[in-house]
Homo-oligomer: A and B are copies of this chain.
Amino acid sequence: MQDRAAKTRRQLIRSAAELFDRGGFAGSSIGQICALARVSQGALHFHFGNKQALGEAVESTAAEILLCVTGQVPAQHPEPLQLLVDTSHTLAEWVTCDPVLRAGFGLAHDASWHSGVSLWQHWRDWVRGLLALARRQGGLAPGVDLDDAVSAITAVMAGLEGLERDPARAWSARSVTPFWRLVLPQLAAEAARGGIDVAGSPSSATGEPSSERWRFDDGSAPHECAAMPDAQLCCMPYEDHREMSGSAS
C-alpha cells in the first residue's frame, strides 16, 4: 500500500513536470495534471495539498535527480577533469530526456514560479569541488582561475539547457563537446591534456541510456536515486510516459 502511495506521488510529480514543461506553471491546471496522471484530485490534495506544493515537489525531485547525475565530489579520483567532462555530457543528456529534471530547470525560467531553489547552485558547487580536486592532484594548468572556470562551465551548461527550449534548437549547441574542445587545452595541465576525451569517455553514460549508470533501481548503479526509482525509463518518449502513468494508479 505504501508502494502504491509512493507510485501515485511519483506519477503526479512526473505528470506535473510534463505539463509545466509544455505550458508553464501558471498554464497547468490541477485538473490537467490529475488527468495526465490518471489520479483523482482528492489524491493530489492528499499528497500535496495544492499546486504550489506539487511545484515544490517537482523542484526538489529535480534537485535529487541532479544529485544522482553528479554524485558527491569524490575525495580522490584518477581523472577529475574526465569525470567533469563525462558528467557534463550526462547532465546535457538528462536535461533533454528527463521531464522532471527539465521541469526543475524550467521552473527557474518561469516568471509565474517563485522559489528560492537553484539547481545551478548545486552544479556550480559541484564543478568548483571537482576543479579544486583537479588542482590538488596537479591536473589543472597553473594559470587557471577557479572562479573563471566555474563561471564559464556553469554558463555554458545553463545555455545548453535554455537553448533546448529555443524555437531554432535544431541548430543549437546541443552538445557540450565544442565547449570542452575549446576550453580544455587551456584548463588541463599539459601532462593531463592528451588523455581527456572531450566527447565523454566510453565508460560514461553518454550515448546509450541503457548502461548500468542509468539503472537507479539496480544495486550495481554508481548512485542510488531514491527520488525516481524508475528514472532508468527517462529516455522513453512522452507517449510512453503517459502510457506508464496511465497503466497504474
- Known contacts: A118-B166, A163-B154. The answer to whether A181 contacts B145 by CB under 8 A is yes
Q: Are B182 and A186 in contact (CB under 8 A)?
A: yes
Any chain B CB within 8 A of the CB of A116? yes
Any chain B CB within 8 A of the CB of A126? no
Which of B21, B155, B167, B175 touches A159 (beta carbons < 8 Å)? B155
Q: Are A158 and B148 in contact (CB under 8 A)?
A: no
Any chain B CB within 8 A of the CB of A168? yes
Which positions 84-116 of chain A face chain B at CB distance < 8 Å? Answer: 106, 108-112, 115-116
Q: Are B168 and A155 in contact (CB under 8 A)?
A: no
Q: How far is the CB of A75 from chain B (nearest CB, A)?
A: 24
Contacting residues, chain B, for A186 (C-beta < 8 A): 182-183, 185-186
- Known contacts: A120-B168, A161-B162, A167-B116. The answer to whether A182 contacts B183 by CB under 8 A is yes
Any chain B CB within 8 A of the CB of A227? no
Q: Are B183 and A183 in contact (CB under 8 A)?
A: yes
Instruction: Name which residue of chain B comes closest to A149, CB basis.
Output: B182
Q: How far is the CB of A104 from chain B (nearest CB, A)?
A: 12
Stretch of A22-30, A48-56, A218-226 at the chain-chain interface: A22-30
Contacting residues, chain B, for A108 (C-beta < 8 A): 162, 165-167
Q: Are B145 and A178 in contact (CB under 8 A)?
A: yes
Q: Are B152 and A182 in contact (CB under 8 A)?
A: yes
Any chain B CB within 8 A of the CB of A151? yes
Contacting residues, chain B, for A156 (C-beta < 8 A): 152, 155-156, 159, 179
Give the interface centre of A21, A115, A120 by most chain B CB atoms within 10 Å. A120
Contacting residues, chain B, for A23 (C-beta < 8 A): 26, 111-112
Contacting residues, chain B, for A112 (C-beta < 8 A): 23-24, 26-27, 112
CA distance A106 to B160 in the complex (A): 15
CA distance A175 to B154 in the complex (A): 12
Q: How far is the CB of A63 from chain B (nearest CB, A)?
A: 12
0 or 1 for each of A113-153: is its CB under 8 Å from B? (1 = yes): 00111101100100000000000000000001101111110
User: Lowest 3 CB-CB distances: which A-B pairs, in order?
Assistant: A159-B159, A151-B173, A118-B168
23 inter-chain pairs at a CB distance below 8 angstroms, sorted by A residue, are: A22-B111, A23-B112, A26-B27, A108-B162, A109-B162, A109-B165, A111-B165, A118-B167, A118-B168, A120-B166, A148-B178, A149-B182, A151-B175, A151-B179, A152-B156, A152-B183, A154-B163, A155-B163, A155-B176, A156-B179, A158-B159, A158-B160, A158-B163
